[in-house]
Structure 1
Amino acid sequence: MANRLANSTSPYLQQHADNPVDWRPWGPDAFEEARRRDVPVFISIGYAACHWCHVMAHESFEDPQAAALVNERMVAIKVDREEHPDVDSVYMSATQALTGQGGWPMTVFATPDGEPFYCGTYFPPSPRHGMPSFTQLVSAISDAWVNRRDEVTTSAGEIAEHLRGQHLPVGDALPDSAALAEAVSRLRGAYDQQYGGFGGAPKFPPSTTLLFLLGHLARTDDPAAKEMIDGTLSAMARGGMYDQLAGGFCRYSVDAQWVVPHFEKMLYDNAQLLRDYAYAARFEGRDTDLDRRIAVEIVAFLERDLQTSSGAYASSLDADADGEEGSTYVWTEQQLADVLGNDAAQDASKVFDVTDAGTFEHGTSVLQRHTDADIEPWRGPLLQARARRPQPARDDKVVTSWNALAVIGLAELAETTGEREYADTATRVVTAVLRDNVVGDDDVRRASRDGVTGEARGVLEDYAALALALARLHVLTADRRWLERAKQIADAALERFADGEGYSDAPADHGLVARPSDPLDNPTPSGIALLAEACLTLSAITGESAYAETAERITARLAPLIAGAPQASGTAAWVAEAMVSGPLQVAIGGPAGPERDALERAARQLTDAGRLVIAGDDPQASPLLADRVGERAAAYVCQGSVCQLPAYSPDELAARVADMRRGLGERAR
């Protein structure tokens, strides 16, 4: 018999709908049932693309005897961490505090008030390597609840108090140019000069760190920033973490050399890397052809493999296919020969680093591409052959913030290439998100699926990313409606997530044992740092001082983290860099035609952090165009309330920008 997950909008929860465990979704009903029965709560947290989540489900949650034990002695809740990142954040903090590490599947036992008292990750079906079996653990938890209740509740209360008392250092002054240079110096100390990236294995794509370094490079031409950018972007693009045939990045590299990936493909990684590569492609003196190619191929991957019937993007592709990780993607020399023929396969093996010994399991190799050899004659036949293999499952839920990050990346690529199709794609995705993931004007939900709006409420990251995406789409298209929606969403975030002098990741009526507030970047950008960027962008568009003051207050609070932990504070550092850089605003008003097109092309190639470029012939379309539309196309370069004389040619525009940058540099010193 199906449990209570059958109608969930989460594919991960639906994967457990036929388990014999009597799962309940996250919500007050489950905790009320635990109070009524006077039993503890078992909270299992995972996500659809998680390999070990599937393993534990098969070993324990599908086992009738294990399920019967759970059903008899506790209330079981299944949580999709991607649908409830606030829940995941609270219990991950508890897991890390109790065990010194965290991960998924996350296994938490809590009181009916939601206070955790025992946490862990994966537990095997039989005792192994000093770990108890899952059923042994359930029995021990139940015994403690029945026979040592005072110890359990005392421990739970202490843990809950610890969670509520966690605080990171807070600053009161904005980072200046010297502070940002010091952050770059710290990053240089962690940089892997041989292989690119930061630290050792496993290596994750440092998306927000790269964004900050690009902004810093634009302002300072710092050779250390350039070295880290060039080495990391090239190594990731040429290694096995990138799908050399179909485009798109995997979650991370299990080794320091970027050879073998963990094969799940996440929307949030590809959305952020799309922004990085599209932005990097505007910088002279680096491999911009590679940057542009990777950005274009990421979009092709999103459109082909993640686009849903709604017009937005699905969350992820699984790491496994038919229970075997990576089997869709890896090759042997013989498999290449079977598709391409022996002569072509020899060439392809050299280009893709496919060896006799293999770089992955069972003598197979992950495709790499360390040369610029033409692979187009091989791409089609190899993709056709690959399509006949078992394919990874797709998590079809449409997450608000991840789609918003994709829109930001698409807008970046539209500016870099001048191609209208990317603006049209961004518009399509935003339209789908506003239709399916927002109730009314500003009630943002975390996710939807198949056009059905989910119940899970949006977290700060969702509101902030969506507001920023809408603001960026406004300046890209000169469409007033996107600015109005951006302000609605941002204003709702500022009201609902306020927490004293700062902002929390969950709204005030969150119903959790502690209100989560993580200012650090994780796989996705920090919600509070995204809010600062959204407010800074809106202040530059509208001139409204309240947005600017909020952005400055948030960034000042995050200053100690930028100084002490720049690898985990890239978004905040990027916002601080944009503040030091202006941000520049370039409004190009006047009739459509060659003169305006030339000014727009030149302006959109500017690399200044946070810069905004808008072009149009309607002075009502944006505050940036008000009083700037005449009979002849002209570009107005401004920063705040300071503007240069109008520019009527790309050369004049370059001179005005140079003058503004000099003024900004003097003020920064």
Structure 2
Amino acid sequence: MKANEHNISSKISQHETKTPHRGKPNRLIHEKSPYLQQHAYNPVDWYAWGEEAFQKAIRENKPVFLSIGYSTCHWCHVMEYESFEDEEVAKILNENFVSIKVDREERPDLDNIYITVCQAMTGSGGWPLNLFLTPEKKPFFAGTYFPKTERYGNPGFIAILKKISDLWKTNKESVIASSEQITKVIQSAAISTPGEILTKETLQHAYAQLRDNFDSIYGGFGSAPKFPTPHNYTFLLRWWKRSNDPTALEIVEKTLERMGRGGIYDQLGGGFHRYSTDEYWLVPHFEKMLYDQALAAIAYTETYQATGKVFYADSVRGIFTYVLRDMTSPEGGFYSAEDADSEGVEGKFYVWTPDEIIKILGEKEGNIFCDYYDVSKEGNFEEKNILHVDKPVDTFSKMRGIKPAELEEVLRTAREKLFSVREKRIHPHKDDKILTAWNGLMIAALAKGAQALNEPKYTQAAMRAADFILNTLRQKDGTLLRRYRSGEASIPGYLDDYAYFVWGLIDLYEATFEVKYLKIARELNNHMIENFQDEKGGGFFFSGKKNEQLITQTKEIYDGATPSGNSVALFNILRLGRITGNTEFEKIAEQIIRAFGETIKQHPSGYTQFLCALDFVLGPTKEIVIAGEPGSDDTERILREIGKRFLPRKVLLLHPSKDKSIEDIAEFIKEQKIVDNKATAYICINYACNAPTNDIHKIIQLLE
């Protein structure tokens, strides 16, 4: 759900989120998507997206009603409860329309096109996304959530259906003319005009925009609602590193600390909720998305590397604890999301009263816990309490006259007891499909975390997930599929699937030095270039040659809730170019930057992941080769020094003396060998190489 969709998110209607199983199921019962299956017992005669539905629309001369959402979307549940389970609404839909349900997480290509339509027609967009199309798939009316009947100025869904049905029957020509006009506008939006190369001034401009929009009291940007948007912080860290401007780091630290202490972070179970409905990071929309966990973990990891502060490391561990406990399949892949609602009520799973807490912990510990996590009789969310931290441990311990270490122990054991009780509650619905793209992000996050925290279990989890994707979602021709669920892998991969997964594989190589991951990253990157590149305009289309051909192609560049595929692809190409010594990649990177340069210059703070890649282009970069044996003490010592430092413009290779397979990918390292039987560092800065050294103090000096 997007911010501009519904500002009443904190006053959630208490509707059931799961459709009661009644009567005969519709054809969605055969779909693998949890979202489509949630609608399988609606009286609406739903179709999945496909030719069968559009042929029926042509045959029966009916417009198409297209409804796009996802399984953990609160307002999708509300609209289902109010309208799609309603016999009156279903009768109108079934008699006058062909109705299609789409899971936006399975088919982001459709979502990209039709949300662009909605934004162009209404000025905003979000989910549920509802459109009316001609049988030729061309849109003529769009909106988001509609109540069954008119409410708070929102038009009623029944009235809309009757009006559109009458218009189709009485003036179909004008409807078709309108759909043609809208389609032309959308098609023209995909054309990009190459511009000039971007410079350091673009980075500075983006920083200034973020700084001017920063909330210096509570952190984050603007006012409520507040979204995490972690690539804003990874960009700011890079600007701080480049400019030595302390304000950039202060913005990052203020925000990540407030987020980590706020209600947007699950203080008992770990992990971040989707966004905060207020400016204080207190009351979240309680949904948990895999991509938010991955991107937040990356931002907290890099901030830990930049500052060395334990709070950020603990936040990373909390995120990974949640993901490895609750979001990991037995085969090793990562699930997509958890709902905001349980038992029909948003947030019910997560909130507490003081009486509940004191009953579990006892009077003394219970009162300490309630004071620390700001739990009161009045409550902060519908007469109950979202746990959050107003004061750091040191401040609170002084106020209470308790030693910080003792307080930490009291809080730790209290959290464990309360978590154990919470586990017995009815859990929110889990969307257990496994998406290649989002798994790529989590693999990258775990690999980065493993290096920074020197934690092998994160490496193992990342390897298991990568191997699962490679074994189940990579086809014999080397291309990727997007989705796995209940034993079925399906849907040709989109740009994000390639870009995000390659990102994960590059980081996983740097964490493991397993050459197969780097080799496959290069192969998949080549498939991506071959299948998605816009050879005329530069950059990459969201859909490739193996995807369904729709009414237009989109080219995503905005770095929103997730970074755009083009931003990530650019960074991957740059890193692989430096790792392999392939200068052709530098040319492709320049084409991508030119393709989007004019767009980005207009409002650079909207493209912060892209600017992380631009920061790499502008350098100085470090190419680090460690000649040494994997697992040996001297090699590991050097790698620990590298892992704990914030080195955003580095690539890292290991060159063992016994295994030469890395030389097949990076020929230039053949002569970079162990000196004096000790692990040796070869550090080049912007193509100029320093003398090899195995003196750890000299290595640290070069890294700094």
TM class by shorter chain equals over 0.9
Return the offset for 1:341. 1.2
3-state SS of 2:330 partner: coil
Matched, 1:90 2:113: yes
Counterpart CA distance in 1 for 2:202 and 2:146 is 45
Q: 1:234 aligns with which of 257, 281, 288?
A: 257
Matched, 1:611 2:644: no
Aligned to 2:619: 581
Aligned to 1:554: 592
Return the offset for 1:443. 2.4
Aligned to 1:127: 150
Partner amino acid for 1:90? Answer: I
| Superimposed CA distance per residue, residues 42-89 of structure 1 (whole angstroms, 9 cap, x where no aligned partner) | 100111111110111111111223212211211111011111111111
Q: 1:49 aligns with which of 58, 72, 82?
A: 72
Q: 1:143 aligns with which of 166, 170, 183?
A: 166
Return the offset for 1:194. 0.8
Matched, 1:334 2:334: no
Aligned to 2:552: 514
Aligned to 1:532: 570
Contact between 1:645 and 1:656, CA under 8 Å: does it hold in 2?
no
Matched, 1:322 2:343: yes
Contact between 2:203 and 2:604, CA under 8 Å: does it hold in 1?
no
Matched, 1:279 2:309: no
Partner amino acid for 1:272? Answer: L
Partner amino acid for 1:467? Answer: V
* Greater shift in the superposed pair: 217-226 or 123-132: 123-132
Aligned to 1:187: 210
Contact between 1:540 and 1:583, CA under 8 Å: does it hold in 2?
no
Equivalent residues in 2 for 1:577-656, closer than 5 Å: 577-591=615-629, 592-617=631-656, 618-622=659-663, 623-624=665-666, 625-630=669-674, 631-639=677-685, 641-656=687-702
Counterpart CA distance in 2 for 1:227 and 1:369 is 19
Contact between 1:467 and 1:486, CA under 8 Å: does it hold in 2?
yes
3-state SS of 1:66 partner: helix
Aligned to 1:380: 416
| Superimposed CA distance per residue, residues 564-587 of structure 1 (whole angstroms, 9 cap, x where no aligned partner) | 333321110100112223431211
| Superimposed CA distance per residue, residues 23-59 of structure 1 (whole angstroms, 9 cap, x where no aligned partner) | 1111232212211211111100111111110111111
Counterpart CA distance in 2 for 1:436 and 1:239 is 38
Aligned to 2:378: 357
Q: 2:528 aligns with which of 493, 497, 504?
A: 493
| Superimposed CA distance per residue, residues 171-210 of structure 1 (whole angstroms, 9 cap, x where no aligned partner) | 5343333331222112101111111001110000021111
Counterpart CA distance in 2 for 1:647 and 1:105 is 58
Partner amino acid for 1:619? Answer: K
| Superimposed CA distance per residue, residues 286-305 of structure 1 (whole angstroms, 9 cap, x where no aligned partner) | 6x201100101111100111
Aligned to 1:297: 318
Partner amino acid for 1:129? Answer: Y
Q: 1:262 aligns with which of 246, 268, 285?
A: 285
Partner amino acid for 1:251? Answer: R
C-alpha change, 1:168 and 1:328, in structure 2 (3 Å) is: farther
Partner amino acid for 2:367? Answer: Q
C-alpha change, 1:542 and 1:487, in structure 2 (3 Å) is: same
Equivalent residues in 2 for 1:394-543, closer than 5 Å: 394-454=430-490, 456-499=491-534, 500-502=536-538, 503-508=540-545, 510-543=548-581
| Superimposed CA distance per residue, residues 116-165 of structure 1 (whole angstroms, 9 cap, x where no aligned partner) | 10111112222323334322222221111111101100111111111111
Unpaired runs of 5+ in structure 2? 1-23, 394-406
Counterpart CA distance in 1 for 2:649 and 2:488 is 35
Return the offset for 1:385. 1.5
Aligned to 2:428: 392
* Greater shift in the superposed pair: 211-220 or 117-126: 211-220
Return the offset for 1:557. 3.1
Q: CA RMSD in A?
A: 1.8
Paired residue total: 655
Return the offset for 1:221. 2.2
Q: 1:544 aligns with which of 568, 576, 582?
A: 582
Counterpart CA distance in 1 for 2:51 and 2:236 is 44
Matched, 1:219 2:258: no
Contact between 1:619 and 1:627, CA under 8 Å: does it hold in 2?
no
Counterpart CA distance in 1 for 2:484 and 2:98 is 26
TM-score (norm 2): 0.90
Return the offset for 1:640. 5.9
Contact between 2:267 and 2:387, CA under 8 Å: does it hold in 1?
no
3-state SS of 2:457 partner: helix
Matched, 1:166 2:189: yes
Partner amino acid for 1:621? Answer: I
Counterpart CA distance in 1 for 2:49 and 2:390 is 44
* Greater shift in the superposed pair: 548-557 or 642-651: 548-557
Partner amino acid for 2:698? Answer: E
Matched, 1:210 2:254: no
Contact between 2:63 and 2:133, CA under 8 Å: does it hold in 1?
yes
Return the offset for 1:445. 1.9
Counterpart CA distance in 2 for 1:516 and 1:219 is 33
Counterpart CA distance in 2 for 1:412 and 1:556 is 30
Q: 1:313 aligns with which of 312, 334, 341?
A: 334
| Superimposed CA distance per residue, residues 368-398 of structure 1 (whole angstroms, 9 cap, x where no aligned partner) | 3632351212011101111122210100011
Partner amino acid for 1:497? Answer: F
Contact between 1:39 and 1:73, CA under 8 Å: does it hold in 2?
yes
3-state SS of 1:281 partner: helix
Return the offset for 1:167. 5.4
Partner amino acid for 1:227? Answer: E
Partner amino acid for 2:678? Answer: R
3-state SS of 1:165 partner: helix
Counterpart CA distance in 1 for 2:605 and 2:347 is 29
Counterpart CA distance in 2 for 1:144 and 1:7 is 34
Partner amino acid for 1:507? Answer: G
Contact between 1:312 and 1:398, CA under 8 Å: does it hold in 2?
yes
Return the offset for 1:541. 1.0
Return the offset for 1:247. 0.5
Partner amino acid for 1:620? Answer: S
Counterpart CA distance in 2 for 1:169 and 1:441 is 31
3-state SS of 2:30 partner: coil
C-alpha change, 1:167 and 1:224, in structure 2 (3 Å) is: farther
Return the offset for 1:604. 2.2
* Greater shift in the superposed pair: 519-528 or 625-634: 625-634
Return the offset for 1:562. 4.1
Counterpart CA distance in 2 for 1:614 and 1:420 is 18
Return the offset for 1:337. 0.8
3-state SS of 2:306 partner: coil
Contact between 2:140 and 2:178, CA under 8 Å: does it hold in 1?
yes
| Superimposed CA distance per residue, residues 227-249 of structure 1 (whole angstroms, 9 cap, x where no aligned partner) | 11111111110111000111100
* Greater shift in the superposed pair: 162-171 or 632-641: 162-171
Contact between 1:42 and 1:76, CA under 8 Å: does it hold in 2?
yes
Matched, 1:9 2:32: yes
Return the offset for 1:553. 2.2
Counterpart CA distance in 1 for 2:113 and 2:190 is 13
Matched, 1:80 2:132: no
